[in-house]
């Protein structure tokens, strides 16, 4: 029997990257998985792939930056799939722009997707979990600790996610809902592709981060490795863990 047998899990941004890897792993561990993503075709493809493997997976096309739609969709998932046990807040966007050039609309879109949607989805899921407990996993980032030029909106949103996680852990603890986060480092996903080039394969990345040992494990991470951390938190195998952040970065942040 899988570690998530009988559980219903919602994974946002599950059509690609970390979200897709997490949905696949959760399904293999016995969870019924709701796949939320603004790319409806890719979400349905992911659900179909899991279905062919024998999993119960359903897809919802939704742009989580659209405020109230996030909460409404969580309620629909609960109605169709049953009591929600797990939420993985993973959907994110990244605008590569310096502060002088970034528009207020771009800034707001990043905050709406990467932070406000996490709050709305967490609140909606907690309403469904409060009678039986559950687990909320927020995908944060090492940008909450370190950052770089042209990443201001993303870094601000992830700093907010880190603090939101700690606050929600306190707020939801009386209902036996654990809230934790994961801070990935450089992970090889579609988000690591900038202007058509995967930044984790460039000569600059290899020299500055890999060959130098700035990343002690000397490589970029894989989505599946973040998914394994999400599984640990979702399964609540450590029942006394809440308000924590697991840094999955190959050692990057310890070399500062």
Q: Which residues are catalytic?
A: 154
Nearest to 34 by CA among 65, 2, 79, 66: 79
Residue reference for tokens 């603090």: 163
Q: How many Å separate Cα 175 from the centre of its chain?
A: 22
Please provide the distance, in angstroms rounded to a whole number, between the alpha carbons at the two ends of the chain. Answer: 42
Using CA atoms, how far apart are residues 184 and 46, in angstroms rounded to an integer?
22
Residues in the chain: 256
DSSP for 149-179? TT-HHHHHHHHHHHHHHHHHHHHHGGGTEEE
- At residue 158, φ and ψ (nearest 5 deg) are -75, -30
Using CA atoms, how far apart are residues 29 and 45, in angstroms rounded to an integer?
20
Angle among Cα 72, 73, 75 to the nearest 5 degrees reads: 70
3-state helix, strand, coil in the chain (%, to 5): 50, 15, 35
DSSP structure class, residue 238:
S
């Amino acid at each position: 029997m899988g570690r998530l047998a009988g559980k219903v899990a919602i994974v946002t941004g599950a059509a690609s990257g970390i979200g897709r890897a997490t949905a696949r792993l959760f399904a293999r561990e016995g969870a019924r998985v709701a796949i939320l993503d603004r790319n409806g075709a890719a979400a349905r493809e992911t659900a179909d792939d899991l279905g062919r493997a024998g999993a119960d997976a359903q897809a919802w096309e939704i742009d989580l930056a659209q405020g109230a739609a996030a909460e409404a969709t969580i309620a629909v998932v609960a109605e169709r799939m049953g009591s929600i046990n797990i939420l993985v807040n993973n959907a994110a966007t990244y605008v590569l722009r310096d502060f002088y050039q970034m528009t207020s609309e771009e800034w707001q879109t990043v905050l709406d997707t990467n932070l406000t949607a996490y709050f709305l989805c967490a609140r909606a899921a907690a309403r469904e979990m409060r009678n039986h407990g559950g687990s909320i996993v927020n995908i944060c980032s090492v940008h909450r600790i370190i950052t770089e030029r042209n990443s201001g909106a993303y870094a601000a949103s992830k700093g907010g996610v880190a603090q939101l996680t700690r606050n929600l852990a306190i707020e939801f603890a009386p209902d036996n809902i654990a809230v934790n986060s994961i801070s990935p480092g450089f992970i090889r996903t579609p988000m690591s592709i900038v202007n058509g080039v995967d930044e984790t394969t460039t000569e600059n990345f290899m020299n500055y981060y890999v060959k130098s040992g700035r990343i002690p494990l000397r490589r970029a991470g894989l989505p599946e490795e973040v998914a394994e951390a999400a599984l640990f938190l979702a399964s609540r195998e450590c029942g006394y863990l809440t308000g924590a952040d697991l840094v999955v970065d190959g050692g990057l942040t310890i070399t500062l």
